C-alpha cells in the first residue's frame, strides 16, 4: 500500500525544467550590490518593479484605506469576518472598469460575468477544469510561458499540443501551423478542447495582430466544441505601437449578442500581477459570457479566494480613475525606456532581439553564439551564462521554442544600475567568446561549478521525430 498519493510522488509538476532550475541557482547565490556584488542577477523573473513609487504615493495619500477604515471608522471586523466566494461587488466593478480603461474603453465588461481567483495561475487551471476532461488537449502557440506545463496540466491531466511558430515570420500564428497542431493532436488520439494564447505574448513581448485574432476566432468557429482562452495578463504593459487589441473587441466587432455559440466559447484571463506589479497580492480573474462556466468557476474559486482586505484596498485604488489613468501612462513610459536600455545594451554586445511592444522582457536571439544548431548547445550556452556570467535568463527550450538559441531576458525587476551591470557582464562574455573563436579554440569550456541534475527537455512528437532524423 502506498503511503502517499500518486500526485504527491509524481514528477510531472515541471519544477525541474531549466526555467525553474535557473531560479534555484539564483536563490543560492543572489546578487546584492553591497552584500554579494558577484552574485547571480535575476533576469528570469517577469516582475514589474518600475512603478512602486506611484502605488506607495497613492497609499500615503489614502491612509484610511490601508488602515481599513471607511469615513474615519474602522471596518476591520467587517472585512475579517466571512465573505462568500462571489467577492466584493465594489471590487469586481472596479476591476471591470480598469480592464475597460486598459482597452481604451472600446469594450465593456459585466461584473456578473467575472470570477475572482488567486492570480492568473488559478484562473487558467480553473478554466481547464471547467472546459476539459483528463486526457483532453489544448493547443498553445510556441514559444509559451514555461509555467503552463504546471498550471494547465499538473492537477487537471489536460495535455498541451504546441502550435509551432517560426522566426521566419516573427513567431506569428499561421493557419498552416494551427492545422498542423490540430492534426498532430488527432494522430495522438487527443480530443482538442481549445486554444490558449497569451496576448501580449510571454515570452515574445509582442501583441497578437488583428489577423491572428481573427484566425483564432475563425478556427474555433469551425470546430463547434472548441474554446478560445485569451490570457491578457500583460494587456496594460503595451508601451509601443501597434496597440493592444483584446479578443473581446474582435467579438464585439464581428458578432451580435444573438451569436451565443461563439460568445460562450471565448474566455479571458486577467490579473493585477503584471500591470500593477502586485503578484504577491494574488489577484486574478476569469471573464466569460458562458453562464455555466461562470457558475462552475465561482464554486471552484472557494479553493483560492482573494482576501476581503485585499479587495477593499484595491477597489479604492482602482476606483480612483485619475490615479489609474496617470499610472497606466507613466508605467508604460517607464517600461518603454527600460526596454530600450536592454535592447541598446544587447546591441553593444552584437546581440539582437525580436522587435517587441509589450511585456516585461525581450525575446533575445543568441543563435550566433551557439557551437551548433542544437538544444544541447543552447543548454551549454545557458549554463555558462548562469554560472560564469552570473545572469539567470530563460532558455527558449524551456518555452518550447522549436529553434535553438533564443532566450527570454527580463528587464523590469531590477534597478537601472543592476541592468547596466548585467549588460557589462554579458558584453565581456561575448567578447571572450569571440576571442576564443578567433584563436581557434574549440575546446569545451570547463567552469568550476556543480552540475545540474535531471534536465528536462519536453519535446512534442514532431520534435522527437525531427531529432531522430537528425541523429540518423
Q: Which residue numbers are catalytic? A: 145, 231, 233, 274
H or E stretch including 406?
Answer: strand 406-410
SS3 state of residue 101:
helix
For the CA atoms of 272, 274, 279, 285, the dihedral, rounded to the nearest 10 degrees, stands at 40
Please answer whether residues 257 and 264 qualify as being in contact, where contact means their C-beta atoms are separated by less than 8 angstroms. Answer: no
- What is the distance between the alpha carbons of residues 74 and 58, in angstroms, rounded to a whole number? 19
For the four alpha carbons of 417, 419, 420 and 426, in that order, the dihedral sign comes to positive
- What is the distance between the alpha carbons of residues 297 and 288, in angstroms, rounded to a whole number? 10
- What is the distance between the alpha carbons of residues 199 and 180, in angstroms, rounded to a whole number? 22
Cβ-in-10-Å burial (0-12, 13-18, 19+) of 42 comes to: buried
- What is the distance between the alpha carbons of residues 181 and 191, in angstroms, rounded to a whole number? 12
Please answer whether residues 172 and 209 qualify as being in contact, where contact means their C-beta atoms are separated by less than 8 angstroms. Answer: yes
- What is the distance between the alpha carbons of residues 15 and 37, in angstroms, rounded to a whole number? 28
SS3 state of residue 50:
coil
Phi/psi at 73 (nearest 5 deg)? -110, 140
**Rg of the chain taking only CA atoms, in angstroms:** 23
Cell, residue 55: 502605488
Long-range contact pairs involving 220-223 (C-beta distance under 8 Å, separation at least 24): 220/194, 220/195, 220/262, 220/265, 220/266, 221/262, 223/182, 223/192
Residues in the chain: 472
Question: What residues have CB less than 8 Å from 136, skipping those under 6 apart?
Answer: 158, 159, 190, 191, 192, 193
Chain centroid to Cα 201, Å, comes to 7
Cell 509551432 belongs to 164
Amino acid at each position: 500500500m502506498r503511503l502517499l498519493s500518486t500526485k504527491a510522488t509524481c514528477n510531472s509538476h515541471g519544477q525541474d525544467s531549466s526555467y525553474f532550475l535557473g531560479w534555484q541557482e539564483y536563490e543560492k547565490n543572489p546578487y546584492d550590490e553591497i552584500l554579494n556584488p558577484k552574485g547571480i542577477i535575476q533576469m528570469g523573473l517577469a516582475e514589474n518593479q518600475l512603478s512602486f513609487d506611484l502605488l506607495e504615493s497613492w497609499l500615503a495619500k489614502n491612509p484610511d484605506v490601508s488602515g481599513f477604515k471607511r469615513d474615519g471608522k474602522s471596518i476591520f471586523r467587517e472585512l475579517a469576518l466571512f465573505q462568500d466566494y462571489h467577492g466584493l461587488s465594489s471590487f469586481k466593478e472596479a476591476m471591470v472598469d480598469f480592464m475597460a480603461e486598459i482597452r481604451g474603453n472600446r469594450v465593456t465588461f459585466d461584473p456578473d460575468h467575472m470570477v475572482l481567483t488567486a492570480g492568473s495561475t488559478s484562473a487558467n487551471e480553473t478554466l481547464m477544469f471547467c472546459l476539459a476532461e483528463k486526457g483532453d488537449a489544448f493547443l498553445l502557440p510556441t514559444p509559451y510561458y514555461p509555467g503552463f506545463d504546471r498550471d494547465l496540466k499538473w492537477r487537471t491531466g489536460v495535455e498541451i499540443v504546441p502550435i509551432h511558430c517560426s522566426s521566419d515570420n516573427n513567431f506569428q500564428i499561421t493557419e498552416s501551423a494551427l492545422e498542423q497542431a490540430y492534426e498532430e493532436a488527432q494522430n495522438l488520439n487527443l480530443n482538442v478542447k481549445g486554444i490558449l494564447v497569451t496576448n501580449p505574448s510571454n515570452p515574445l513581448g509582442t501583441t497578437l495582430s488583428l489577423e491572428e485574432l481573427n484566425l483564432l476566432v475563425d478556427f474555433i468557429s469551425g470546430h463547434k466544441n472548441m474554446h478560445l482562452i485569451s490570457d491578457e495578463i500583460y494587456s496594460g504593459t503595451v508601451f509601443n505601437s501597434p496597440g493592444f487589441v483584446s479578443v473581446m473587441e474582435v467579438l464585439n466587432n464581428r458578432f451580435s449578442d444573438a451569436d451565443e455559440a461563439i460568445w460562450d466559447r471565448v474566455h479571458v484571463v486577467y490579473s493585477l500581477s503584471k500591470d500593477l506589479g502586485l503578484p504577491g497580492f494574488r489577484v486574478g480573474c476569469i471573464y466569460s459570457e458562458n453562464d455555466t462556466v461562470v457558475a462552475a468557476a465561482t464554486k471552484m474559486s472557494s479553493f483560492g479566494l482573494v482576501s476581503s482586505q485585499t479587495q477593499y484596498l484595491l477597489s479604492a485604488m482602482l476606483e480612483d480613475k485619475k490615479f489609474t489613468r496617470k499610472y497606466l501612462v507613466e508605467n508604460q513610459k517607464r517600461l518603454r525606456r527600460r526596454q530600450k536600455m536592454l535592447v541598446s545594451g544587447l546591441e553593444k554586445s552584437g546581440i539582437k532581439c525580436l522587435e517587441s511592444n509589450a511585456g516585461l522582457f525581450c525575446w533575445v536571439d543568441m543563435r550566433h553564439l551557439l557551437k551548433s544548431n542544437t538544444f544541447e548547445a543552447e543548454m551549454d550556452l545557458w549554463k555558462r551564462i548562469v554560472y560564469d556570467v552570473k545572469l539567470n535568463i530563460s532558455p527558449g527550450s524551456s518555452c518550447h521554442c522549436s529553434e535553438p538559441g533564443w532566450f527570454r531576458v527580463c528587464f523590469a525587476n531590477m534597478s537601472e544600475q543592476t541592468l547596466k551591470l548585467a549588460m557589462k557582464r554579458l558584453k565581456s562574455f561575448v567578447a571572450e567568446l569571440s576571442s576564443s573563436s578567433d584563436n581557434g579554440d574549440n575546446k569545451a569550456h570547463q567552469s568550476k561549478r556543480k552540475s545540474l541534475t535531471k534536465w528536462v527537455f519536453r519535446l512534442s512528437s514532431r520534435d522527437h521525430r525531427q531529432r531522430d532524423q537528425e541523429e540518423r
